[in-house]
């Protein structure tokens, strides 16, 4: 409704508080891949609210944070000479990675419509990318929810410009056999993108986790989202490329800005989530992140054991902290999600403690006994 004279600050804020109370309380949400932001993330975010990395020459301090965050991830993913950029999250990163792969294909004078092979479990952002970029999406079969390299090799042809693999799948928390798929990509000289939006900030902190990073020859790009397991504020994504010149493929001229080219999808870009990511990673350090991630994995195992003890079996044993169970009635007030296969899915982010898990299991037991 139009409001000609404006309202007092307290009135507007009280209204906002009331509206915010209608959102689901985090303590009942078991379905979100976005961890609650760490307190230092919130403070850092508010310090950098007016910054715009779309015109980095005006925010040279903030721009150094972007470079430091990228460098931190290149170190974590074992390729210090690679390049990268900050995005708004997994969707933008996936679109940009595929934009590079399809453009490379067209520039190499293969004028036929390119195709991209994705696992059946791929996030729906790849369908968005296919619509935007006009490539054909080929879906590879999976073995126990992991991409099957044999089927991928059957799907490859001369117009295949990219293989997408997932490290920490949205629905079942599985990691594709990245080394096998990277070998295939290398053999056929195809771009290989690893979607580690969720798993990229889990797997490096686990002992004996499946490999997915730049230490594998043939991996061309990796995306990871600090706004998921990185406990940063939304929107915060990172896209990394093995070769710096991948940037050039996407560059356009920006004649009147402080920097003369841009390879990002968005123009105006918030510096606040970059500061937030920087703050969490530097505050916790590798050891602090490892402690939190290992606790999440322990809680995932605990959840699975406690549910199986009341007769509700796991759908799979996950590689990361996503627990899936055979269908059962969901008690109030818990919010879970369902996979396309009908299983019940929970993401065990840091705020899902053993006490919360116990409450859920007790409520499920009561409801399913009735
Ligand atoms: N890649 C993977 C493997 C993902 O799981 C997701 C998002 C993306 C890419 C896309 O990332 P952005 O959403 O950051 O662009 N996975 C979650 C999902 O769609 C996102 C999410 C988070 C959904 C919290 C709901 C929610 O409450 O399930």
> 355 lies in a domain?
yes
Q: Are 27 and 229 contacting, i.e. CB atoms less than 8 angstroms apart?
A: no
List beta partners, residue 83: 241
Q: Which domain holds residue 295?
A: 9-37+285-369
Locate the ligand 1 atom nearest the alpha carbon of residue 166 and give its number. 3
Strand partners, 281: none
User: Residue 127 in 3-state DSSP?
Assistant: helix
**Same domain, yes or no: 123 and 266:** yes
Q: Give the alpha-carbon dihedral of 150, 153, 154, 160, to 10 degrees.
A: 150
Cα of 10 vs centre of ligand 1, distance in Å, is 35
Report the alpha-carbon angle 365-294-222, nearest 5: 110
Are 222 and 99 part of one and the same domain? yes
Residues 53, 269 contacting (CB under 8 angstroms): yes
Rounded CA-CA distance 228/211 in Å is 20
Q: How far is CA 333 from CA 22, 31, 295, 336, in A?
A: 14, 13, 24, 10
Pocket of ligand 1 contains residue 170 by CB under 6 Å: yes
What is residue 332's predicted lDDT score, i.e. its pLDDT?
94
Mutation test of ligand 1: which of 197, 231, 277 has the most ligand atoms closer than 8 Å to its C-beta? 197
Are 354 and 205 contained in the same domain?
no
Q: Which amino acid residue places its CA nearest to atom 11 of ligand 1?
A: 90
Residue matched to tokens 């994705």: 118
Of the candidates 10, 30, 26, 29, the one whose C-alpha atom is nearest the C-alpha of residue 18 is 10
Mean pLDDT by 10 residues, the chain (370 residues): 86 97 96 97 98 96 97 94 94 98 86 93 98 97 96 97 98 98 97 98 97 97 98 98 87 87 93 98 98 98 98 98 97 96 97 97 89
Using the mean position of ligand 1's atoms as its centre, give its distance from the Cα of residue 158 in Å.
31
Same domain, 316 and 216: no
Whether 307 is in a domain gets the answer yes
CB of 119 closer than 6 A to ligand 1? Answer: no
What three-state secondary structure class fits 304?
Answer: helix
**So what's the pLDDT on residue 98?**
98
pTM over 0.95: yes
How many angstroms separate the alpha carbon of residue 33 from the centre of ligand 1? 6
**What backbone phi and psi angles, to 5 degrees, belong to 250?**
-95, -10
Q: Say what the pLDDT of residue 1 is.
A: 61
CB 250 within 8 A of CB 217: no
User: Looking at residue 28, what DSSP letter applies?
Assistant: G
* CATH number of the structural domain spanning residue 112: 3.40.640.10
* Cα–Cα dist 127/271, whole Å: 28
Instruction: Tell me, yes or no, whether 174 and 75 share the same domain.
Output: yes
In short, whether 171's Cβ falls inside 6 Å of ligand 1 is: no
Give 224's strand partners. Answer: 238
């Amino acid at each position: 409704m139009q409001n000609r004279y404006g309202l007092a600050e307290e009135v507007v804020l009280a209204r906002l508080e009331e509206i915010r109370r209608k959102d689901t309380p985090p303590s009942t949400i078991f379905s979100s891949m976005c961890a609650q932001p760490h307190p230092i993330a919130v403070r850092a975010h508010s310090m950098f609210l007016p910054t715009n990395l779309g015109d980095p020459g005006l925010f040279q301090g903030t721009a150094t944070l972007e470079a430091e965050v990228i460098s931190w991830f290149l170190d974590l993913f074992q390729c210090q000479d690679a390049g990268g950029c900050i995005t708004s999250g997994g969707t933008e990163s996936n679109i940009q990675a595929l934009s590079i792969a399809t453009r490379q294909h067209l520039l190499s004078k293969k004028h036929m419509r390119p195709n991209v092979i994705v696992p059946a479990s791929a996030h729906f952002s790849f369908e968005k990318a296919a619509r935007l970029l006009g490539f054909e999406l080929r879906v590879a079969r999976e073995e126990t929810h992991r991409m099957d390299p044999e089927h991928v090799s059957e799907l490859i042809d001369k117009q295949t410009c990219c293989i997408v693999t997932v490290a920490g799948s949205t629905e079942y928390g599985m990691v594709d056999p990245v080394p096998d798929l990277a070998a295939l990509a290398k053999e056929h000289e195809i771009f290989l993108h690893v979607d580690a939006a969720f798993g990229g900030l889990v797997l490096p902190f686990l002992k004996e986790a499946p490999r997915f990073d730049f230490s594998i020859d043939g991996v061309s790009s990796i995306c990871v989202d600090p706004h998921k397991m990185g406990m940063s504020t939304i929107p915060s994504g990172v896209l990394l490329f093995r070769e710096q010149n991948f940037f050039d493929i996407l560059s356009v001229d920006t004649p009147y800005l402080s920097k003369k080219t841009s390879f990002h999808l968005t123009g105006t870009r918030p510096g606040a989530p970059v500061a937030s990511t920087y703050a969490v990673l530097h505050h916790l350090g590798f050891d602090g992140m490892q402690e939190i991630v290992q606790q999440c994995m322990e809680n995932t195992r605990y959840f699975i054991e406690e549910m199986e003890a009341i007769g509700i079996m796991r759908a799979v044993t996950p590689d990361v902290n996503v627990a899936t169970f055979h269908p059962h009635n969901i008690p109030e007030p818990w919010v879970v999600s369902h996979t396309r296969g009908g299983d019940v899915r929970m993401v065990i982010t840091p705020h899902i403690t053993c006490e919360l898990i116990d409450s859920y299991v007790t409520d499920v037991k009561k409801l399913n006994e009735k």
